[in-house]
A and B are shown apart, each in its own frame.
Chain A
Amino acid sequence: MNLLDCITSSFSSLIQHKLRSCLTMLGMIIGVFAITTVLAISKGGKELILSEFLTAGTNIVMAFNAQMETRMDKLACLTEDQVMAMKEVIPQIADLSPMHFLQIPLKVKGRMKQITVLGVPENFFRVRGIKASSGRMFTGEEVNRYEKVCVVGKELFYDLFGKTKRLGQEIRVEGTTFRVIGVMGHKLEFGPININTAIGVPSSCAMRLLGTRDIYAVQFLAKEGVSMPLLKKRIKNHLRQIFGGRDSFDVHSVDELLSMLNKVMGVISIVLGSIAGISILVGGIGIMNIMLVSVSERTREIGIRKACGATKGNILLQFLIESLALCSIGGGMGILASVGLVLIISTVMKVAFFISGMAIILGFGFSFIVGIFFGVYPAYIAAKINPVEAMRYE
């Protein structure tokens, strides 16, 4: 009996018990569906977040006063000269942008809220990869000319003006009116400010409003190929020198957030994957259970086959193929269902979730292994049945 005959024989037996085969496969379908969907969503989600970071650039270091939000008046700060000198002292720095902060009360959706106003030079946005989702960002000339223009975070813009996207509205900051010229596109944030709910004004105007040129936060762009931990260390040491050995500024980089994100996503994937794996295991046990029932039900058939010349190997292979077929078809259907769901989620949420080849291989491979693992024992039981006793079996 060749392999093709074994496969045909196994499939014909599965077809003869359609309902039982379908119900047995259900466990495997759900298990593989769960594992592939979980992998697709966690991988897609991770890549979505990563892509946001990558657009912003992973070679950015932020240094800001750790107590900035609570005790602004008595804080250690940097002068413009000190900041500009850092570019000379630390050769790994490609560019830097000093940042100024103001907190202003604004009526948002009928309630007064404290809003952060960010005074920055024009290069700040370019370095961070922040683009205008509508309108434009301010230019270096506008910074130099003290132009009263501003860009508003997407979330805040919608809260203030609704989804009209009409630019040219006015916002009053400390008695000065700023004209909205652009909306800052949505970006994931790190550091002290959430860009989505902030207002960006030219650094020159911010300094005038604050009445000081003190700098509480600086954004650094690393040169290509520079080790981020090294740059961070150099910036930290330099700042410590300035502040007489104290760590008055916190120094953070995007890459450390990335590694943290990777760890968190990894843990989430493992937890969800384990749950999905358990469902595959349960499906496998279900298959073994049904295969054992099938062996017992078909004892007489096994006896007849042996009387007609089937070897132990033939019987073993037939039952093993049946189990493998149940698992593989179930696995395949689970993958198809998963692809369907992921497509629907991607379309509805307008997010590019996708099932990777690895997820498909993993889902299918798992079902195949489960098929062999849980199919071997029933097949072995079937193979060693004595033909005489089998044919007497009622």
Chain B
Amino acid sequence: MNPNFIKLSEIKKIYTMGETVFSALNGISLSIARGEFVAIMGASGSGKSTLMNIIGCLDNPTAGTYLLDGEDVAKNNDKELAQIRNKRIGFVFQSFNLLGKQSALDNVMLPLLYSGLLRKNRGKIASEALEMVGLSTKLRNKPSEMSGGERQRVAIARALVNNPEIICADEPTGNLDSQTSHEIMEILLGLNKKGRTIILVTHEADIAGYAQRIIRMRDGGIV
């Protein structure tokens, strides 16, 4: 197991809005091992989502180094970063972030569309992913025809359809009731047991309890 699968050194993120300068991350250094289940906890505005976006290659740090599996992420161009997001990282968001006018199957096929996979294989792989999260009967349903828990399962199926090494989950249970939250967490736990690195952002202690390690944040730093 590579203990420095994800290695952040002195990561800073500064937002400038007009004359206002806001530092979201103040030089964070952190290592996450391959296959680890890490929960990032903190109050609203502590910088946990910003950190997850940087780890997920959705955002660039203002300063510092981010090594993913030994490779400096900053050296990648837009196309290479897109490829990392497509092949190596899967995202699960609090508000599901599904395409509302498309079916569950189409939503799960979205990462496959950008992965260069042949058209004919996409449906099969996406169906299997939906089956894995227990939604084999709802392939043609649109998000509006599903419950919150089902929508989050679709989002998880979409996150794992390209078989990524990392799953970044930003408050995945934030919009769900307690029972559904635990069902979703069980799915994530199962994925971790299969070897995937899970980075979970949450402010709920019981949800963070599923993780092997909890990183607590306050005011853009790790405490």
Residues on A close to B: CB < 8 A? Answer: 1-2, 4-5, 9, 12, 16, 300-301, 303-314, 386-388, 391
Given contacts A307-B91, A388-B53, contact A5 B85 (CB under 8 A): no
In the complex, how many angstroms separate the beta carbon of B62 from the nearest chain A beta carbon? 14
Given contacts A300-B97, A301-B99, A391-B93, contact A308 B59 (CB under 8 A): no
**Contact B111–A309 (Cβ < 8 Å):** yes
Q: Which of B75-83, B130-138, B172-180, B193-201 lies at the interface?
A: B75-83
**Contact A307–B114 (Cβ < 8 Å):** no
Give the residues in chain B near A312, CB-CB below 8 Å.
78, 82
**Contact B85–A308 (Cβ < 8 Å):** yes
**Contact A308–B53 (Cβ < 8 Å):** no
**Contact A307–B58 (Cβ < 8 Å):** yes
Give the residues in chain B near A304, CB-CB below 8 Å.
97-99, 110
Given contacts A304-B110, A305-B110, A388-B58, contact A310 B97 (CB under 8 A): no
Give the residues in chain A near B116, CB-CB below 8 Å.
1-2
**Contact A308–B58 (Cβ < 8 Å):** no
**Contact B113–A5 (Cβ < 8 Å):** yes
Complex Cα spacing A9 to B119, Å: 12
Give the residues in chain A near B98, CB-CB below 8 Å.
304
Complex Cα spacing A308 to B97, Å: 11
A13's nearest neighbour on chain B, judged by CB, is B101
Q: Total A-B residue pairs with C-beta atoms closer than 8 Å?
A: 63
Complex Cα spacing A310 to B84, Å: 11
Give the residues in chain B near A386, CB-CB below 8 Å.
59
In the complex, how many angstroms separate the beta carbon of A8 from the nearest chain B beta carbon? 9
Complex Cα spacing A301 to B106, Å: 13
Give the residues in chain B near A387, CB-CB below 8 Å.
58-59
Give the residues in chain B near A12, CB-CB below 8 Å.
102
**Contact A5–B101 (Cβ < 8 Å):** no
Interface positions, chain B 123-177, Cβ under 8 Å from A, are 158, 162
Given contacts A5-B119, A304-B110, A310-B114, contact A391 B82 (CB under 8 A): no
Given contacts A1-B114, A311-B78, contact A388 B99 (CB under 8 A): no
Given contacts A9-B113, A307-B58, A314-B114, contact A391 B97 (CB under 8 A): yes
**Contact B59–A388 (Cβ < 8 Å):** yes
Complex Cα spacing A1 to B115, Å: 7
Q: Indicate whether B86 reaches chain A with its CB closer than 8 angstroms.
A: yes
In the complex, how many angstroms separate the beta carbon of B78 from the nearest chain A beta carbon? 5
**Contact residue among A1, A308, A310, A313 (Cβ-Cβ distance under 8 Å from B158):** A308
Complex Cα spacing A4 to B122, Å: 14
A5's nearest neighbour on chain B, judged by CB, is B113
Interface positions, chain B 62-113, Cβ under 8 Å from A, are 78-79, 82-83, 85-87, 91, 93, 97-99, 101-102, 110-111, 113
Complex Cα spacing A12 to B110, Å: 13
Interface string of B195-215 (1 = CB under 8 A from A): 000000000000000000000
**Contact B97–A311 (Cβ < 8 Å):** no
**Contact B87–A309 (Cβ < 8 Å):** yes
Give the residues in chain B near A307, CB-CB below 8 Å.
56, 58, 85, 91, 97
In the complex, how many angstroms separate the beta carbon of A301 from the nearest chain B beta carbon? 6
Give the residues in chain A near B99, CB-CB below 8 Å.
301, 304
In the complex, how many angstroms separate the beta carbon of B216 from the nearest chain A beta carbon? 22
